[in-house]
Amino acid sequence: MFRYIVKRLIEIIPIIFVVSLLIFFFIHLVPGDPVRLAAGKEATLEEIERVRQELGLDKPLLTQYVNYMQNLLTGNLGHSLKTGLPISDMFENRFSVTMTLTLMSLGWALVLGLLIGTISAVFRNKWPDYVGMLTAISGISLPGFWLGLILIQVFSVTLGWFPTGGVESWKSYVLPSLTLGAGIMSMLARFTRSSLLETLKEDFIRTGRAKGLKESVVVRKHALKNSMIPVVTIAGLQFGFLLGGSVVVETVFSIPGMGRLLIDSIAFRDYPVVQAVILLFSLEFILVNLLVDILYKALNPKIRYDS
């Protein structure tokens, strides 16, 4: 197991290298000139050229890439073209904000998703199942920005329970994390339900029931654990969706996180910031999927990685 993890960690290096290469050339291929945007509509050509030189954007693309990689290897993410601030400064508060938001969303999604899925499976085709699945369908189909605005209207404006946005206290995270988690919660609920229904048909479950075990014990101790494998897969894959969703949710709830930074930077063609954010997102995604594979092993000892 340990050897496997080390191997996987080493594998990350070339992946990140390829990702960085792709991001760099893609973002530079997109039309739009950060220098023009930075200099403004009334800049003279001379001014624009001066700024271009100052930012090093006049050099050939390959030279720029080599510089960027050299900086990256020394842990220097570079400076924002738009604000001139070091990117590490810009990440300082934003990273923890987005991390808190995504983890809280995943938390909601796991707890509620497993709960709804299990109840739906156990009470298959009875009203709790219908209610549960209706919730799940809604969670998938409602667009995030719409759900967010509705939650603000109900819980902030009408009831005054939670703030409409920002990151003042834990209260600020409740509505956005519900909004962000809704989609994944629904996916998890549906997968838990179908996977649990499959497992409940298995022989070992019949054995358990024949032994006279309580139904609750059968479900909790035997069926649930065995139905978790597909659910964990989905949770891992959906983590990328969380990062993407954070862009929308952070905008609706005016949360100063990485998602909003990404959107702002793309609009401004702030190359170094876009590169840094996507790189970080990729890294997170890779690590989460590594974690999922490790969880597999924990859930199902039959899966062997070391061979």
Partner 1 sequence: MKKASFLRTASVLLFSVALLFGCSSGGGNGSGTPAASNGGTTTGAPQKDQMVIAVNENFITMDPQNTGDALSSGVQSAMFEGLLIYDKDLKLMPGLSTEYSVNEDATEYTFKLRQNVKFHDGTPFNAEAVKINFDRMSNKDNNLRAYRNYKYIKSTEIVDEHTVKVTLNQPFSAMINKFTTGIISPAALEKYGKDITKNPVGTGPYKFVEWVQGDHLTVELNPDHWNKGAAKVGKIVYKPVPENGSRVAMLKTGEADVIYPLPEQQVETLNGEEGVKVERTPSTITRYVSINMLKKPFDDPRVRQAINHAVDKNAFIKVVKSGYGAQLESVMSPTIAHYAKQGAYEYNIEKAKQLLKEAGYENGFTTDIWGNTNSDTMKGMQFIQQQLQKVGITVEVKSMEEATLSDEIYGIKSPEEAKMNMWYVSWSSADPDNAMRSLFSSENFPPAGANTAFYKNDLVDQSIKEATQSSDQDKQKQLYGVVQENVFKDAPWIFLAVDEILYGKRANVNGVYITPSGGIYVREAAFQ
Among 33, 66, 134, 214, binds partner 1 (CB under 8 A): 33
Minimal CA–CA distance to 16: which of 280, 262, 272? Answer: 280
Q: At what angle do helices 258-268 and 87-122 cross, to 10 degrees?
A: 120
Contacts of 56 (CB under 8 A, 6+ apart): 64, 67
Indicate left, alpha or beta for 32 from its phi (over 0: left) and psi (-120 to 50: alpha).
left
- Span of 166-174, 184-192, 197-205, 280-288 interacting with partner 1 by CB under 8 A: 166-174
Give min distance, CB of 17 to partner 1, in A: 28
90 forms part of the interface with partner 1 (CB under 8 A): yes
30 forms part of the interface with partner 1 (CB under 8 A): yes
State the first-to-last Cα distance of the chain, in angstroms, to the nearest integer: 10
109 and 184 in contact (C-beta within 8 Å)? yes
What is the x/- site pattern for partner 1, positions 174-193, by CB under 8 A? x-------------------
Segment 96-115, which members bind partner 1 (CB under 8 A)?
103-104, 106-108, 110-111, 114
272 forms part of the interface with partner 1 (CB under 8 A): no
User: Judged by CB, which is closer to partner 1: 200, or 274?
Assistant: 274
Q: What is the DSSP letter of 77?
A: -
Q: Give the integer Cα–Cα distance in Å for 281 and 272.
A: 14
Among 6, 18, 298, 304, binds partner 1 (CB under 8 A): 298
Among 2, 13, 29, 44, binds partner 1 (CB under 8 A): 44
Indicate left, alpha or beta for 80 from its phi (over 0: left) and psi (-120 to 50: alpha).
beta
Give min distance, CB of 18 to partner 1, in A: 26
Please tell me the count of residues contacting partner 1 according to CB under 8 A.
Answer: 75
- Span of 4-12, 58-66, 90-98, 202-210 interacting with partner 1 by CB under 8 A: 90-98
Give min distance, CB of 13 to partner 1, in A: 26
214 and 122 in contact (C-beta within 8 Å)? no
Q: Give the integer Cα–Cα distance in Å for 90 and 260.
A: 12
The alpha carbons of the chain give a radius of gyration, in whole angstroms, of 24
- Span of 13-21, 70-78, 157-165, 212-220 interacting with partner 1 by CB under 8 A: 157-165
Among 12, 43, 197, 290, binds partner 1 (CB under 8 A): 43
